[in-house]
Chains A and B, each alone.
Chain A
Amino acid sequence: MKLLPAIAVLLAAGLAASGFRWLFTVTVPVQTLRKSTEEGSIAEEKAEQLASKTDLTGIFMAAPELATFTATDTPSWPSFRGSNRDNIAPDFRWNEPKLLWRIEVGDGHAAPVVSKGRIAFLDYDEKREGDVLRVLSLETGRELWQRFYKVKTKRNHGISRTVCATDGDALVSLGPQCHVLCTSLTNGMFRWGINLAEKYGSKVPLWYAGQCPLIDGQVVILAPASEKVLLCAIDLRTGTPVFETPGVPGLGMSHASVMRLGDIYIYAGIGGIAGVAKDGRLLWVNKDFTPNVIAPSPCILSGNRFFVTAGYGVGGAMFEADEKGCRLLFKTDRRTLASEQQTPIHRDGLLYSVLPGDAGGLRQQFACMTSEGKQIWTSGTEDRFGLGPFLAIGQNRFILQDDVGTLTLAQADGNGYKRLARLPLMNGEGRDAWGPIAVSGNLLLVRDSTQIFCLQMEDKQ
């Protein structure tokens, strides 16, 4: 019983000491995590610092199937717009397409490439907060391996955007915040990684980077489009720069990808279009077409011509270029031929594209234009396609996808447009189905913002 007073005294002393400390503690305001400035919040600055310090080796995970997976001899679709970067696939029959598999993916628009029985795409994992390079079996859709690296990216009209490139051995991806990763396609082994923002000072464009790497022989061509470096060629095996074209003042990174016009690399950046020789020499810069935002890549035509377009009311422009210079031939109105997101297709001397949303009564219709700038036809009010992708197959057919994922097969050439079939693949409930279409033989890979579908069309007969 004698212990009780002692305990009471101790408790009272403790309380008194705490109160004393509380009374004399100098309180300072907690530093706010938010600054209402263009630079963003302190939390954002920390996230950006973390993004610049991203360890691109990341975390590798392989499925048990990887050890026993045998490559099949499937036709490849190795980069953005296919082998020739022209978005023209070999012909196949469309006869009751069958759904082979469907997978859930992170919010975005990144389309797959196909090589050696595998598909590869750069996904984003919002739970783990990072880019994920994923390789799946083309036949089953089951994942073989993935490589994850942490980089916090918020949704801004989706997150993933770009199409990888592969030569069948190396696989190169470019993430929304300009992280370039090169691995082995077959086993996922890390080869090298570059953060374009950190190494070259690239500024991540509005709505993130949309540039798809271009593999040309033993190098991958990238456009950091910074003050330091306009274009660079990186050795696929070692990750060392083969050339670095000095930056052009006022020419920044757009969403467009580098395209090849013969031996000239063409890059349509914000503030101008540049031509770079295969050895990295800057050949010319043209400033006749300088929209605020450019998502489509230059569409290469025959006869040293290329066509550049963008949305938001600017229309398009046809250029002629060689090593000596680049000349504007004519500009097109947004109602004649233009595109907001997808790159037009050139086939047999004609240009095809879905017109942008501000083309008045012709908005979102599929249109055909001669290489001299004369519109031949549009698809009509019953056939509008939003911002979705379109793909040429064979000599005179196209597959077009609208915003909700409905596929349309059409016969289209210089003689006109005729719808042949429609497939409401996502029952009209797909969302922002803007990712490009990939083809491997009679297999079609399409996506909306959260799922990828593999469709088997009938074999060519």
Chain B
Amino acid sequence: MTRRESVLLAARSFAALGLAAFFGSSVIRKKTTGKTVWQIDPKKCTQCGRCETACIMKPSAVKCVHSFSICGHCKLCFGYFQPNAKHLTEAAENQICPTGAIRRRFIESPYYEYTIDETLCIGCGLCAKSCTNFGNGSLYLQIRHDRCVNCNACKIEENCPGKAIRRIPVELAYLKKDKA
């Protein structure tokens, strides 16, 4: 075997090993533990408000989450302001959130950033409903697993009119929105 052939053989061996490692790890990753957790399917959620009241956790384990990639970052955000708000200021009477859990920060004209303070969010879904109706739908509800105790029978699931709550593999954990 010439030196050239030796080098080529070594290179092919390394490539084969790399491919084997890649596919092997993919197969391993696909294996799930079989454990499941409760989650809200944003496509089915009607933001009826029962997540706030039906959950055994007080406040609810359901929180509003925000997809920045979907958000329009508007000055007049209907997930943040009351539809009839006369002034676009942070005054409480202008906000749709009953607990003031949405933070609004000016970025640069004409864009604003909206973030959720989960310690204040009660999962009422008022912001998500308004954002879905009038905006891009970037605000939506999810069950947060640092609060959910994963009951065998979920009270929210029992009360959900849209059948939006189901068990999903624990490895998935969340059902994220990737488009409006």
List chain A positions with a Cβ less than 8 A from chain B: 34, 36-41, 43-44, 154, 156-157, 206-207, 292-293, 311-314, 340, 356-358, 363
Cβ 8 A contact of B74, one of A34, A207, A312, A363: A207
| Chain A, Cβ-Cβ closest to B132 | A357
Contacting pair B110 A312 (CB below 8 A): no
Q: Decide if B106 touches A206 in the complex (CB within 8 Å).
A: no
CB pair B83 A44 closer than 8 Å: no
In contact, B76 and A154 (Cβ under 8 angstroms): no
Contact of A311 among B75, B109, B134 (CB under 8 A): B134
A residues near B9, Cβ cutoff 8 Å? none
Residues of A within 8 A of B106 (CB): 36-38, 40
Interface positions of B (Cβ within 8 A of A):
72, 74-76, 78, 83-86, 105-106, 108-111, 132-134
Q: Which of B85, B110, B133 contacts A156 (CB 8 A)?
A: B110
15 A-B pairs with C-beta separation under 8 A: A38-B106, A154-B109, A154-B110, A156-B72, A156-B111, A157-B72, A292-B83, A292-B84, A311-B134, A313-B83, A356-B133, A356-B134, A357-B133, A357-B134, A358-B133
Chain A binding surface, main DSSP class = loop
How many angstroms from the CA of A41 to the CA of B108 in the assembled complex? 6
* B85, closest chain A residue (CB): A292
Which of the residues B83, B105, B110 comes within 8 Å of A314, measured between beta carbons? B83
Q: A37-B106, A44-B108 are in contact. Are A292 and B76 (CB under 8 A)?
A: yes
Apart from A156-B110, A293-B76, A358-B133, list 15 A-B contacts with CB within 8 A.
A36-B105, A36-B106, A44-B108, A154-B109, A157-B72, A206-B75, A292-B85, A312-B83, A313-B134, A314-B83, A356-B134, A357-B132, A357-B134, A358-B134, A363-B133
In the bound complex, what is the Cα–Cα distance between A80 and B64 (angstroms)?
Answer: 40
Closest to B76 in A: A206
Q: Main secondary structure on chain B at its contact with chain A?
A: loop
**Assembly CA distance A314 to B78 (angstroms):** 13
A139 to B78 alpha-carbon distance, docked (Å): 42
A340: B residues at CB distance < 8 A: 134
User: Smallest CB–CB gap between A124 and chain B, Å?
Assistant: 15
A33 to B34: give the CA distance in the assembly, Å: 53
Chain B min CB distance to A131 (Å): 17
B74 close to A206 (CB less than 8 A): yes
Least CB distance from B52 to A in Å reads: 20
Q: How far is the CB of A13 from chain B (nearest CB, A)?
A: 48
Nearest chain-B residue to A36 (Cβ)?
Answer: B106
Instruction: Give the chain A neighbours of B133 by CB distance below 8 A.
Output: 313, 356-358, 363
Give, as a whole number of angstroms, the nearest-CB distance from A166 to chain B: 30
Q: Is the CB of B83 within 8 A of A41?
A: no
